[in-house]
Structure 1
Amino acid sequence: MKAAAFLYPWDVVGDPDAAARIADLGVQQVTLASAYHSTRALTPRHPAHRIVTAAHAAVLYPVDEDRWAGRSLRPYAAGDWAPTADPYGEAAEALAAAGLDVHSWVVLAHNSRLGADHPDTSVVNAYGDRYPWAPCIAQPAVRAYLTALAAEAAVRPGARGTELESCGWYGLAHLHAHDKIAGVGLGDAAQYLMSLCFCRACRTGYAELAVEADELRQAVRRALDPAWAAGSSSETGWPAVEKLLGPGLAAASLAWRTRVARTLQESAVAAVRAAAPPGFQVLLHADPSAYHCGANAGVDPRHILGVADGVVVPCAGGPELLAPFVEHRRPGAASVVAANLGVVSGMGGSPATLAGDAARAAELGASELRLYHAGLASDADLGLVRAALRQP
């Protein structure tokens, strides 16, 4: 199977050996970040640094000022953590010269600085708390911003395709500095309730479905009261959401969120294709449970495979999430179903079992592999990856 490794531009720029090292792993492609959220990242082999602290979400290339003129919502330029004015472009050029295909990696609805600078754009939970890292994708201004960002950040010079991450709802779950929210354990049903949005746009949306927003908000709060008292709510699966909210309110909330996410995904993919040359591949990072939110947006597999050229599926917990996408591949279409496998031991990945994990993913119908993340991995981890990819 074709294998691709994730990278940040700062893994490559300033390290003359980086591109050849990645090519030597046996991958055919690099998925290179062009628009990314804030992060603190290890660079274990770079000759000039070991830690990069990206203080806020930013694009890693020079923006097209004409595209963003007059817009209140626009991408942020990188700060002093960016090694050059166009780190994406320089890294992409070096990787292509090493014989690697380069696809852009675009993070969309995940931007803490946007929420800090424009609080009204954020998801608002049932208690009135804003999630600055989570732009509400129901808001017209947010949707216009994300669609324009998708087109610009995806179609970079030399890119042969793109992978759109966080192209859907973001919610409560979020890796955050000095996080202190684990005192009450929440299963994915309670996570869903804590991720429902009650901003003005979403309240209007609920009303369109004959649901009173305050009724839904109070139902969410009542359903979560036992969790705050007991210290946990471990129920998972959509039936658990129905149990907590009641089937009617659960269905209405999901209908609104699904409509919003679908139309955003359709618009973002269309914008990328309109800006891209023929044959440009557009994939989404996706989860087959429509009520899930986060970096891997919850989708309807049948629908998304009719919109994008394929999906990148999180397989850290096993390859089972591949099956719904494989089942709904369009007849005669070359839809990509890529298994995303962790290869950084210190972050829970398992490079030692990569060959077996890849074989199992192939058995379930995966057509490609994604390896997270070649820039963060130790030399020992990369050695295991190299050995696994060279097995016949």
Structure 2
Amino acid sequence: MKASTFVYPWDVVGDPGAPARIAALGVRQATLAAAYHSTRALTPRHPRHRIVTAEHAAVLYPTDPEGARWKGRALRPYPAGDWAPGDAYGEAADALARAGLDVHTWVVLAHNSRLGADHPDTSVVNAYGDRYPWAPCIAQPATRAYLVELAAEAAVRPGASGTELESLGWYGLQHLHAHDKTGGIGLGDAGLYLMALCFCPTCRAGYGAQGLDADALAAAVRDALEPLWQGAPDDGGWAGVEKLLGEETAAATRAWRDERARTLQETAVRAVRDAAPDGFQILLHADPVTYHVGANAGVDPAHILSVADGVVVPCAGGPGLLTPFAEQSRAGAVVAANFGVVSGMGGSPGTLAADAARARELGATELRLYHAGLASDADLEAVRGALAAG
């Protein structure tokens, strides 16, 4: 199977040996960050630094804030600081291409703490009135327009032959925020869904269109969560949500949220296609359960495979999430299995060969490896061996 590894521009810029080292893993493609959220990242082999601190979500290429795309818009992408100066993406992409790698962009969309800090009205607001500054509400018209424009600009960079769109959907509570301290109570799948429900003015109106009173819904959510705060077990899954909220109310919230996510995904993919050359590949990082939130947006497999060219599926907990996509796959669609290969971050490079074989059995057509820049030398050696073995 074709394999690609994720890479940051700062893994490559200033390290002349990086492109050849990445190509020597046996991958054919590098999925290179063009727009990314804040992070603190190791660079264990770089000749000039060991830690890169990306202080806020940013585009990693030059953007023109007064150009036709962004002029007059309150919401616009942030330029990177000294962690990715100038055209860091372009410089890294050129170096990777010279090493023989196909380069695709990696674009993080609805995950942006800087946007939430500067424009708090754009953030998801939970049933308690707490804002999630890392989570732009994808129902709001201005936010949707910003995300669509960012997708088109960041995805279609010079020389790129495809893109992978991450966080193109709802975000919720489960985000590893700075010095995160939210794991003390296990809310479970149903509780996390309730904590992801947004009550900004746009979403309140959306619930109203579904026949719900937003104030009554917020009160019901708080009441439903109270036993979980006290330690009661979550029944889990959508059945757990229905038990906590009632079937009709739960279905109405999901109808609003699913429609907002689905139409945003359709519009963003269409915008990228309009901006891209023929043959440009568009994949979404995706979860086959529509009510799930986060970097891997919840989607309906049949629908998303009719819109995009394929999906990148998280396999950290095993390859089981591949099956719903494989069952709905059409000829030529990509179903890429995403495996962590950084052992210090919970990845398992030593089992990659077996994991890849199992993923192929379940319908995977390609592999994604997270992440060549973060992995140790021993992890990379294990990846080389696994890919060489087939």
Distance 1:179 1:312 in 2: 26
Distance 1:97 1:28 in 2: 12
Distance 2:384 2:363 in 1: 23
Q: What is the CA-CA distance between 1:228 and the residue it aligns to?
A: 1.5
Cα deviation code 1:255-313 (max 9, x no counterpart): 00000000000000000000000000000000000010000000000100000000000
Q: What does residue 244 of structure 1 align with?
A: 244
Q: Could you list the runs of 5+ residues in structure 1 that have no partner in the other structure?
A: none
Distance 1:136 1:128 in 2: 14
TM-score, scaled to structure 2: 0.98
Distance 2:307 2:115 in 1: 27
Q: What does residue 207 of structure 1 align with?
A: 208
1:379 to 374, 377, 380: 377
Distance 1:286 1:207 in 2: 28
Distance 1:188 1:15 in 2: 42
Q: What does residue 46 of structure 1 align with?
A: 46
Q: What is the CA-CA distance between 1:234 and the residue it aligns to?
A: 3.6
Give 1:81's aligned amino acid: W
SS of equivalent residue, structure 1 residue 261: helix
Distance 1:64 1:329 in 2: 39
Of the structure 1 ranges 180-189 and 30-39, higher mean CA displacement relative to structure 2 is found in 180-189
Distance 1:320 1:227 in 2: 28
1:70 to 69, 72, 85: 72
Cα deviation code 1:87-137 (max 9, x no counterpart): 000000000000000000000000000000000000000000000000000
Contact 2:234 2:240 in 1 (8 A): no
Distance 1:213 1:233 in 2: 26
SS of equivalent residue, structure 1 residue 45: coil
Contact 1:190 1:233 in 2 (8 A): no
Distance 1:119 1:194 in 2: 18
Q: What is the CA-CA distance between 1:233 and the residue it aligns to?
A: 4.1
Distance 2:298 2:119 in 1: 25
Give 1:222's aligned amino acid: D
Q: What does residue 108 of structure 1 align with?
A: 109
Cα deviation code 1:348-368 (max 9, x no counterpart): 000000000000000001000
1:366 to 357, 364, 367: 364
Contact 2:286 2:297 in 1 (8 A): yes
SS of equivalent residue, structure 1 residue 390: helix
Distance 2:195 2:272 in 1: 32
SS of equivalent residue, structure 2 residue 306: coil
Distance 1:34 1:358 in 2: 27
SS of equivalent residue, structure 1 residue 284: strand
Q: What does residue 81 of structure 1 align with?
A: 83
What is the aligned-residue RMSD (CA, Å)? 0.8
Equivalent residue pairs, number:
388
Q: Could you list the runs of 5+ residues in structure 2 that have no partner in the other structure?
A: none
Q: What does residue 281 of structure 1 align with?
A: 281
Distance 1:181 1:68 in 2: 36
Contact 1:285 1:297 in 2 (8 A): yes
Give 2:80's aligned amino acid: A
Distance 2:233 2:187 in 1: 5
Give 2:380's aligned amino acid: L
Give 1:348's aligned amino acid: G
Distance 2:150 2:281 in 1: 17
1:339 to 312, 318, 337: 337
Contact 2:285 2:311 in 1 (8 A): yes
Contact 2:172 2:195 in 1 (8 A): yes
SS of equivalent residue, structure 2 residue 266: helix
SS of equivalent residue, structure 1 residue 132: strand
Contact 1:112 1:132 in 2 (8 A): yes
Q: What does residue 218 of structure 1 align with?
A: 219
Q: What is the CA-CA distance between 1:235 and the residue it aligns to?
A: 3.1
Give 1:339's aligned amino acid: A
Q: What is the CA-CA distance between 1:215 and the residue it aligns to?
A: 1.6
Give 2:108's aligned amino acid: V
Contact 1:342 1:351 in 2 (8 A): yes
Contact 2:76 2:146 in 1 (8 A): yes
Q: What does residue 235 of structure 1 align with?
A: 235
